[in-house]
Structure 1
Amino acid sequence: MSLNFDTMKKVIEGKTKIIYENPAAAHTVYMVFKDDITAGDGLKHDLIEGKSGIDWLTNKNIFEYLNRKGVRTHYISSPQEKVSIVKRLDRKINLEVVTRRVAAGSILKWGNIAEGTRFDPLITQFHYKDDPLHDPMLDDEYIEFIIQSKGSHEYQQMRDINVQVFMILEKAFAHHHIQLVDFKLEYGLIDGVVTLIDEITGGSFRLWPYAKKEPNLNQQNVLAELDPKGRLDKDTYRMGGDLASVKSKFQIIAEITSGFRDLA
């Protein structure tokens, strides 16, 4: 039986999802995916018919895999297409937590780093989530200061989970000859505990296929080993690709992540 959201109370609507109260279980909410796609801090906006179902499947595949791997997440189940049931938050932490393996995107400009530079160990940065302010990055040294002096260990917990998730997904995508370049995740408190929330879909990460059958990824710069032009992520949209191409690439991600169910 299909869920009727017209009878449910809307908690909040974002750019790509709507959250509804779950009258059958107050400690959970429904997360409903939309066909919207945005970029440039929301200034670029389009609708891609069917994107909601594709994103829902990718998110389902990834969160079910992370739950099996023991990651602390908000995800419970997906009762029907485009809809997931997740744990209700005590409080959302208004940060985007970015982890990078390979230099790409904005870090090339503000960090003056060559594209393809490999980070080992991974680097993780915190951004205040505010589109009009362009998601400014928090100073690493100050974060370390407040962890040590103020006991704000939520930062370290978010950093640890980000790295844990990155290592899991990097290995999973490697089975499909794809490098996880970077990603951004979000967090909240559930029962007072820092927990991975929101979605992980084609707009959450950069994915570059391998350029060679056996790439050498253990060097300072791996750009020649990868195929950024074959990217399978939202950069296609950011760079002006047509919506059909964007949808096709997101569909490929959904198909790839469907294979995660067969991984240990």
Structure 2
Amino acid sequence: MSRRRKIYEGKAKTLYEGPEPGTLVQHFKDDTTANNAEKHEVIDGKGVINNRISEYIFDQLNAMGIGTHFIKRMNMREQLIREVEIIPVEVVVRNIAAGSLAKRLGLDEGTALPRSIVEFYCKNDALGDPMVSDEHITAFGWANPQEIDEMMAIAIRVNDFLTGLFLGAGIKLVDFKIECGRLWENEMMRIVVADEISPDSCRLWDNKTGEKLDKDRFRRDLGGMLDAYQEVARRLGVLNENDPVPTGGPRLVKG
């Protein structure tokens, strides 16, 4: 990648200025973190796989009329995206009890929920991304009531789509998180899906065996995280059956 000005660097991705006004280049890193970056490893090839999976899903969402920031994949590790104003709230949709929900409510992991549940979390690593309510979001000016309704509606539509997509690949969608942003086009603003959708941001279990095919393999020291991500990519048709784990590709540009 040619030398570009860095806009922002997160735990798993870096944003650079794009080739045109209103665009950014999103670079997928191999860094893998858990427990708000207390646990950190570099797993070669993870960023390449997440780039491909996220590209595939965002292309499908765009085609369905669910707006995203995604424009196109540029190379193995980078996407061209629209610049959006990120709303500092993570939207989590849960279909099956797992993770923090199971711990909070004393549920057995794997318990099917009565219906899909939408939760909001404040994007703040220093505070551990605390769960927040609509009241918190509006009181602190992170989003207004109409934007909250839009984010919830988008999250439910994404859940419906992803549930069917993964089920067709023999995968159970347990839960996932998305980020949303305000996309300004002239004087018009709309809420779109931003960031990424990949095994980093979804809990995915094999439909028959219950094997975890997501970041929990890293969180819980199960091993085989890259193999699991590659399996998801192959089932979605993003990678061919006999393709090796893709590694390398453009690396981070410093400065």
TM-score, structure 2 normalization: 0.86
Which residue identity does 2:148 align to in structure 1?
Answer: Y
CA deviations over 1:123-156 (Å, ceiling 9, x no partner): 000000111211110135x36987xxx9521111
Q: Does 1:20 align with 2:16?
A: yes
| Other structure's SS at 1:173 match | helix
Runs of 4 or more above 6 Å deviation: 143-146
Unaligned runs of 5+ in 2: 240-255
Tell me how many residue pairs correspond in the alignment.
232
| Other structure's SS at 1:53 match | helix
Q: Say if 2:52 and 2:238, in contact at 8 Å, map to a contact too.
A: no
**Which position in structure 1 is the counterpart of 2:165?**
172
Alignment partners' CA distance in 2, 1:35 and 1:210: 27
CA deviations over 1:99-136 (Å, ceiling 9, x no partner): 01111111111122232222243100000011121111
The structural deviation recorded for 1:248 is 0.5
Q: 1:45 to 1:154 in 2, by over 3 A?
A: same
Alignment partners' CA distance in 1, 2:64 and 2:180: 18
Which residue identity does 1:12 align to in structure 2?
Answer: Y
Q: Does 1:65 align with 2:48?
A: no
The structural deviation recorded for 1:39 is 0.5
Alignment partners' CA distance in 1, 2:191 and 2:8: 21
**Which position in structure 2 is the counterpart of 1:202?**
199
CA deviations over 1:211-248 (Å, ceiling 9, x no partner): 2xxxxxxxxxxxxxxx33x1100001000123xx1110
**Where do residues 228-239 of structure 1 align in structure 2 (5 Å cutoff)?**
228=210, 230-239=211-220
Match of residue 87, structure 2, among 93, 103, 122: 93
Alignment partners' CA distance in 2, 1:102 and 1:174: 14
Q: Does 1:49 align with 2:7?
A: no
Q: Say if 1:143 and 1:155, in contact at 8 Å, map to a contact too.
A: no
**Which position in structure 2 is the counterpart of 1:126?**
120
The structural deviation recorded for 1:46 is 0.3
Alignment partners' CA distance in 2, 1:30 and 1:21: 6
Which residue identity does 1:107 align to in structure 2?
Answer: L
Match of residue 153, structure 1, among 146, 151, 160: 146
Alignment partners' CA distance in 2, 1:187 and 1:70: 15
Alignment partners' CA distance in 2, 1:234 and 1:86: 24
**Which position in structure 1 is the counterpart of 2:6?**
10
CA deviations over 1:79-103 (Å, ceiling 9, x no partner): 21111001011x2111111001111
| Other structure's SS at 1:154 match | helix
Q: Say if 2:137 and 2:144, in contact at 8 Å, map to a contact too.
A: no
Alignment partners' CA distance in 2, 1:100 and 1:165: 12
Which residue identity does 1:251 align to in structure 2?
Answer: Q
Alignment partners' CA distance in 2, 1:151 and 1:177: 38
**Where do residues 19-38 of structure 1 align in structure 2 (5 Å cutoff)?**
19-22=15-18, 24-38=19-33
Q: Say if 1:62 and 1:257, in contact at 8 Å, map to a contact too.
A: no
Unaligned runs of 5+ in 1: 212-226
The structural deviation recorded for 1:27 is 1.2
Which residue identity does 1:117 align to in structure 2?
Answer: T
**Which position in structure 2 is the counterpart of 1:105?**
99
Q: 1:35 to 1:144 in 2, by over 3 A?
A: closer
CA deviations over 1:144-186 (Å, ceiling 9, x no partner): 987xxx9521111111111100100100111122110000110
| Other structure's SS at 2:60 match | helix
**Which position in structure 2 is the counterpart of 1:247?**
226
Alignment partners' CA distance in 2, 1:240 and 1:144: 34
**Which position in structure 2 is the counterpart of 1:223?**
none
The structural deviation recorded for 1:258 is 2.9
Match of residue 136, structure 1, among 130, 136, 139: 130
Q: Say if 1:97 and 1:125, in contact at 8 Å, map to a contact too.
A: yes
